[in-house]
Structure 1
Amino acid sequence: MGKKRIVIAGLGDAGLLSAIQLNKNFDVIGISPKPCLVSGQELGPRLARPKDWEENYLIDYDRFKGLKGVDIRHAKVSGIMARENKISLIGYDGLPDTLAYDVLVISSGTQNGFWRNGHFENSDDIQRNLTEKSEAILSATRIAIIGGGPTAVSVASNVKEMRPESEVHLFFSQEMPLPTYHPRTRRKVEKFLQKQEVVLHPLHRADVPADLDVEAFSSDPISWSTGQPPFKADVTLWAIGKLSPNNEFIPADMLAEDGFVRADDFLRVPGYENVFTVGDIAKTDDNRSSARNAGHLVLAHNVKSFLEGRDEKLKSFKPPRYRWGSILGFQKKGLSIFTPNGERVGISPWWVKNLLFPVFVWRLIYQGLEKRK
């Protein structure tokens, strides 16, 4: 008998890492509407320093050594026929297809703006979008960023670092940004933004336009349900957590009320013993923490245990209380990692360039990366 087949619906960060782990023992097919990894991480560096961001977050699938032998389809899943252990898909060329699986992994992620979408794209589309958005925000004199999460904070900090002469305004609804992080992390990042002279506007809740296009910048005056006077900027970026799960192809009984995929402690979809989920689509907790925190390792272990008939070996995924990790990304003075208990670990630029990415990230986590052709 041949190897068991695993189909992975979605090859963003979590899906790709899962594919690398499972490729050692199984026949893996990965499905993505993109021709390469387009990471949803680090929007701030992506807008402020797109060429630097590309080096580490926009990577052709054929450069990953751990994906050698994986059948990668430039396609979108259009349906799941779980009783038949099959999925239907539509290729980039518009042609339909059907695939059988022994295990299905749903890692289709979310859409929350121009930096994360479920559209079909080719390499030219991706590059054009990257360049246009970066040029638009870096050419602005007065910039408004709406949102208090890590995406909004990262954009505010990185754009201000690259354009210190520009006014960068960050609006958020609570007293401090980063509500899902440890209080110490929140205070430290707030002080850093103030030192950069990012203008902070706490307790501002925006009236979200009914026709808001989260895939575009806007320039209309911003009004506030909290009573402050309207604010006008050259460019406004809405990073308000208005995300939606990529779930169009997923049966309703696999979904929680908010549209994310239901997940038990073992990252398995309840009621479907051979369907697993990981990443931002997986409703493991309010922060959907399996997108980080080595969720792919738990997923790979559990899929392998299931296919080997050893359910007693399944491991639980344990979400942390607070989000943690990089918030601002790699900046001129290096990289800051914030721990689950709110401590900051600073890594100098030399160590980031010569050890963190080439050794820890690409060699250890991603198991090897070919040089650009």
Structure 2
Amino acid sequence: MDTNLPVSAHPRVVIIGCGFAGLRLAKELRHAPVQVVVIDRNNYHNFQPLLYQVATGALEADSIAYPIRKIFAGQKNFFYRMADVQRVAPERNVVHTSVGDIRYDYLVIATGSLTNFFGIESIEKNAMQIKSIPNALNLRSFIFQNFEKALLTENPEEKQALLNIVVVGGGPTGVEISGSLAEMRRHVLPKDYPELDLKQMQVILVEAGPAVLGPMSAKSQQESKRYLEELGVIVRLNTSIKRFENCRAYYSDTEYIPTENLIWAAGVNGAEVPGLPPEVVARNKRISVNRWNQVEGFQNVFAIGDVANMVTEEMPRGMPMLAPVAQQQAELLADNLQRIMRNEAPKNFEYVNKGVMAIVSRNKAVVDLPKDVHFSGILGWFTWLFVHLMTLVGFRNKVVAFVDWAFSYFSSDQALRLIIRPFSRRDVKDDQGKKKAEHQNSTPEYNPAPPAIQTPVAR
């Protein structure tokens, strides 16, 4: 029991997950009279908003990751265990992990979110996602592997499928990776692949709703769409991908876009932890909590961040799954845990919206601030760069990211186009720890089909 954790006279707070929420909570408890134990399957904190830059070669993986133990070096009440959480047993105050059982006095679930494939099996098996560093590295290798294959094939339909990249989901991730890929097509790929006619390459952003960046202002939606189209991205609104198989992304029973590269950024679910009663888990797999992030029906179990489903009058569909929400919930919970231990009433959570932003490409970003303040273009771009640079964990990461961005800006080039770990869809285990079904080869046998509905070539 307790995997060699020292006995403490103070209550033990076990935090599952070291994302934005778990990291901030553990830091906020550094002077509290508690023993803090963080459990995570990775030994690093991952800065998810910049994963798309790892996927497109703008940043290396270690620029957006930082070792958990190094982050908390010198925090005497902090302990870390690298493990997969198998289930929780709230009736016994125990977390069952792959390295043993860990007892807790207070449990905080901060597991974040997982990709939501909406039950479409062919997409879950064959599409690429970017929720983790392994995902981003796989995607980067996969895209460049397919360009190498496009050089060798003489079948024009197969070549088109290898060159086309379809991004599904018009949220910030979909918009940002589409813009980054379009810039790579314009500035980088012609140097690396002079033998290919890159005018054939299409970057297609597919969004089921009527606009990209749905949660943002109408002005940001319009400007981001215009920026994308100026880069040559084909934006298809009110369109859903029904299935993805045999190098075809179907948006109806018979109409499809030929592609081997489908990037799924269309939605997320909460990363629930087994062991909680089903009545506290909402339909989107988020855990229902009250206004101080206490899980319904439990006195000493809490959930914060993306996995927490806090419904209020202002947010009837739950708090948005954003890093600022996670960090603000963590800060309040650190205070409330100490209040509870002093038998004082906890405070209710009030979300302070500090604004949202999205980058499209160099010198092009959109920013929405409270009180209907909006700006875009190069000012929005500098704002995005500054906020993300300051939010990165670790001085080294800030310096490396700044240098890489400066080099890319002045040289219009990205040097990180390495296929270090060739990617195949066969026998893949995703980083959520779940074994996937056996997949097809990275380039399935090409089966001719009736002509697809033609999509204009982006030039």
Measure, in 2, the Cα distance between the counterparts of 1:347 and 1:67.
37
TM superposition shift of 1:336? 5.1
3-state SS of 1:116 partner: coil
Q: Output the CA distance in 2 between the equivalents of 1:65 and 1:258.
A: 32
Selected match of 2:20 from 10, 13, 33: 13
Q: What residue in structure 1 maps to residue 217 of structure 2?
A: 182
- Return the index of the structure with the highest Cα Rg: 2
The residue that corresponds to 1:46 in the other structure is 54
Q: What TM-score do you get using the length of structure 2 for normalisation?
A: 0.65
Q: 1:273 to 1:80 in 2, by over 3 A?
A: same
Find out whether 1:159 has 2:203 as its counterpart.
Answer: no
Tell me the secondary structure at the aligned position of residue 158 of structure 1: helix
CA distance in 1, matches of 2:254, 2:329: 42
Contact 1:324/1:339 (<8 A) preserved? yes
1:227-251 alpha-carbon deviations (Å, 9 max, x no partner): 8831112411122215453333433
The within-5 A match list for 1:202-351 is 202-208=237-243, 220-225=247-252, 229-241=255-267, 243=269, 245-285=271-311, 286=317, 288-289=319-320, 291-293=322-324, 294-311=328-345, 313-318=346-351, 324-328=355-359, 332-333=362-363, 337-340=367-370, 341=372, 343-344=374-375, 346=379
Residue 62 of structure 1 aligns with an amino acid whose one-letter code is R
Indicate whether 1:195 and 2:225 are aligned.
Answer: no
Look up the equivalent residue of 2:224 and give its one-letter code.
V
Distance 1:351 1:87 in 2: 39
1:328 aligned partner, one-letter code: I
Distance in 1 between residues matched to 2:293 and 2:322, nearest whole Å: 11
Aligned Cα RMSD in Å?
3.2
Secondary structure of 1:328's partner?
A: strand
In the alignment of these two chains, the number of paired residues is: 337
Is 1:84–2:92 an aligned residue pair?
yes
Once residues 250 and 88 of structure 2 are traced to their aligned partners in structure 1, the CA distance between those partners, rounded to angstroms, is 43
Q: Could you tell me how far apart the structure 1 residues matched to 2:179 and 2:52 are?
A: 7
Q: Which amino acid aligns with 2:91?
A: R
Corresponding position of 2:142: 136
Task: State whether residues 224 and 230 of structure 1, in contact with CA within 8 Å, keep that contact through their aligned partners in structure 2.
Answer: yes
Structure 2 residues without counterparts, runs of 5 or longer? 1-7, 116-127, 148-161, 187-197, 312-316, 400-459
How far does residue 342 in structure 1 lie from its aligned partner after superposition? 6.0
Q: Is 1:100 paired with 2:99?
A: no
Contact 1:261 1:283 in 2 (8 A): yes
Structure 1: distance between partners of 2:396 and 2:106: 29
Match of 2:113 in 1: 110
Task: Please give the secondary structure, in 2, of the residue aligned with 1:289.
Answer: coil
Fraction of identical pairs, as percent: 18
SS at match of 2:15: strand
Cα offset, 1:114, TM superposition: 4.1
Q: TM-score, normalised by structure 1?
A: 0.78
Instruction: Structure 1: give runs of 5+ residues left out of the alignment.
Output: 92-96, 118-125, 210-217
Q: Which residue of 2 aligns with 1:168?
A: 203
Compared CA separation, residues 50 and 60, structure 1 to 2 (3 A)? farther
Matched to 1:343, the amino acid is H
- Name which of 35, 50, 53 aligns with 1:27: 35
Q: CA deviation at 1:369?
A: 5.2
Contact 1:147 1:170 in 2 (8 A): yes
Q: d(CA) in 2 for partners of 1:59 and 1:204? A: 38
**SS at structure 1 position matched to 2:284:** coil
Q: CA deviation at 1:11?
A: 1.3
Provide the C-alpha distance between the structure 2 equivalents of 1:308 and 1:290, rounded to a whole number of angstroms: 31
> Residues 319 and 334 from structure 1, CA distance in 2 versus in 1: closer, same or farther, beyond 3 angstroms?
same
Does the aligned pair in 1 maintain the 2:216–2:356 contact within 8 Å?
no
Partners of 1:182 and 1:325 lie apart in 2 by: 10
- CA spacing shift, 1:46–1:351, aligned 2, 3 Å: closer
Question: Paired residue for 1:215?
Answer: none
Change (3 A) 1:270 1:146: same
Check 1:351–1:108 CA distance in 2 against 1; reply closer, same or farther (3 A cut): closer
How far apart, CA to CA, are the structure 2 residues paired with 1:221 and 1:287? 35
SS in 2 for 1:134: helix
Cα deviation digits, residues 39-91 of structure 1 (max 9, x gap) = 33234323113535641x22211331477342111112222222332222212
SS for the counterpart of 1:111 is strand
Q: Secondary structure at the match of 1:280?
A: helix
Residue 456 of structure 2 aligns with which residue? none
Cα distance in structure 1, aligned partners of 2:383 and 2:271 = 37
Amino acid at match of 2:250: S
